[in-house]
Structure 1
């Protein structure tokens, strides 16, 4: 058992299976954990389509405060941030309360945290390395580009267009600073996460218009890097076996928004499971389930 609290399947643009467990219901709010990275990535695509950002090849430093930009001696492309190839000096170290990662999660002033990062002499790494701090800086890039906090922009550019049935919330560093934790922590109803998945599945189509840059879904489907059984691209994970062009947002403790364009299926699962447990097995199960509904 994977301690599932919500399990929903959408096929052909509508929900065809929906179950809740352990006291949860359709009206419950679920924490996204790192599923939020896929939403931050999608918001970046929306900002490109809206003209706030020229392209993923743009230097992110132009959107940062000068004190932060000065930390990086070389360009940091938005693509480097999206694909976790930026040399951000905050390793994914969960086993120490004194690590920079722990400080990033608990600080009440994320702007000060970013400005106190050590200087970086080379900005782009030749390989993928999962570091949540890259999405903190991606969030800072978006704030600078749209000249607003992330929540209001995403509310207008994404949440309303997808037809979300309820407001969502985004955890912030403090009530004073109110900087969103763009690397995690969006809280919403399961059905609205399904709607987000359908929006990406449909390549951003809304009322006859395409809100995402042309070919964005195709970018997601092509891993820019592999690590073990997984590929990674633009905030999304995929199995190394590419027999299906499927991909998934994944959050710690078993949170998933899985998309399979081949079967026209979205699967959402929220859980209270192990930290990083059975993820490849779960994606294979989703793939099989998606084919069942497609037959």
Structure 2
């Protein structure tokens, strides 16, 4: 892609910048020591740091499993390796996949689980949680807690008054990664591992709001604070009450929580099961409705899957959703290390993939891979 996405693409360069910033952090910051050791997120964070439970549904929705007529295959799409058709099981094993599930019409057509996994533990989804925050924002607007995405951020975070760019910064700029805010190492460390509100006095700008797209975590830290202040609920509880507990989720889930300042860590730190992530995908597939109950305004869903930022390679971005070509109409929630909730409305398909870190899979053309799998659901 032709843009900077700090949370799940530029891992190597990010680690290098962290090393240069470590001495300054030690001198000037009051961060917990684990923040320096684990400043780049990984799948163990959910066990290292404090979290709150996200309540699942009282009644578990179970997908039907249907036999398939033909085994799934996939071509190994990269810019370096010739196309080689592989059984999907083999391909996923090579990519160090933990879970992969294909759902069509409320039925599981295919499901893969790493054989090394002996029992269920919540699986981190990294920046997929940003799509959860986006959904919560739409509901908070629908419920009247927030006026609109065009409201100024200072209407809700008045302490942000020390730079002229705050005067024009809107919720929509945060939501669509066009805030112009500079990403600094202390912001990452505090937002992910330290006191969430510590980021507020140290926000700097590289651009005027609305002029430049740059995917950074601080934008969603601010959105999480806005939702919590207006609803007077922790973000994880607001999400559970309005979405997670209402879509038939079955398994235990957790969300990172700052107990010192009492804030949910909006930028990531969520962990759950592949099947439950798929239910969130189905909620969007059905325009915000779950089994006849309209949980998210359908207009918010439709607006969210219409691209407003062009990211190159025929991919768009809006409200924390990555959006494919208009002709295909697919879109996905995307997290670090290729955690993905892929939605293909034309074929009524939701695919969830949850990977271990594997730098080779970053080069794969995942849109094409997931479309190949989707195409094969037609004959199954």
Calculate the TM-score normalised by the size of structure 1: 0.87
Do the aligned partners of 2:191 and 2:221 also contact (CA within 8 Å) in 1?
Answer: no
How many Å separate the matches in 2 of 1:218 and 1:35? 18
The equivalent position to 1:270 in structure 2, one of 333, 345, 354, is: 354
Show structure 2 runs of 5+ residues with no match.
1-93
- SS of 2:357's equivalent in the other structure is coil
TM-fit CA distance, 1:53: 1.7
Cα deviation per residue 1:23-52 (whole Å; 9 max; x = unaligned)? 236733100111111111111112122221
TM-fit CA distance, 1:141: 1.3
Show structure 1 runs of 5+ residues with no match.
92-98
How many Å separate the matches in 2 of 1:276 and 1:18? 22
Q: Which has the larger radius of gyration?
A: 2
Q: Is 1:232 aligned to 2:317, yes or no?
A: yes
Do the aligned partners of 1:6 and 1:269 also contact (CA within 8 Å) in 2?
Answer: yes
Cα deviation per residue 1:111-147 (whole Å; 9 max; x = unaligned)? 02223324x5975122321111111111111112211
TM-fit CA distance, 1:22: 4.3
The equivalent position to 1:261 in structure 2, one of 331, 342, 345, is: 345
- SS of 1:187's equivalent in the other structure is strand
**Aligned pairs, number:** 284
How many Å separate the matches in 2 of 1:73 and 1:136? 16
How many Å separate the matches in 2 of 1:37 and 1:12? 26
Do the aligned partners of 1:26 and 1:191 also contact (CA within 8 Å) in 2?
Answer: no
How many Å separate the matches in 1 of 2:100 and 2:134? 24
How many Å separate the matches in 2 of 1:213 and 1:106? 30
How many Å separate the matches in 2 of 1:34 and 1:106? 12
Q: Is 1:202 aligned to 2:286, yes or no?
A: yes
Aligned partner of 1:163 in structure 2 is: 248
How many Å separate the matches in 2 of 1:261 and 1:43? 22
1:1-295 alignment runs, 5 A limit: 1-24=94-117, 27-64=120-157, 66-68=158-160, 70-71=162-163, 72-90=165-183, 99-105=185-191, 107-118=193-204, 120=205, 124-173=209-258, 175-229=259-313, 230-239=315-324, 241-274=325-358, 277-278=361-362, 281-295=365-379
How many Å separate the matches in 1 of 2:130 and 2:334? 9
Relative distance call for 1:52 and 1:276 in structure 2 (3 A) is farther
Cα deviation per residue 1:46-94 (whole Å; 9 max; x = unaligned)? 2122221222222232222x32355553132221111101122226xxx
Which stretches of structure 1, 4 residues or longer, exceed 4 Å deviation after superposition?
Answer: 69-72, 120-123
Q: What root-mean-square deviation, in Å, do the aligned CA atoms of Structure 1 and Structure 2 show?
A: 2.3
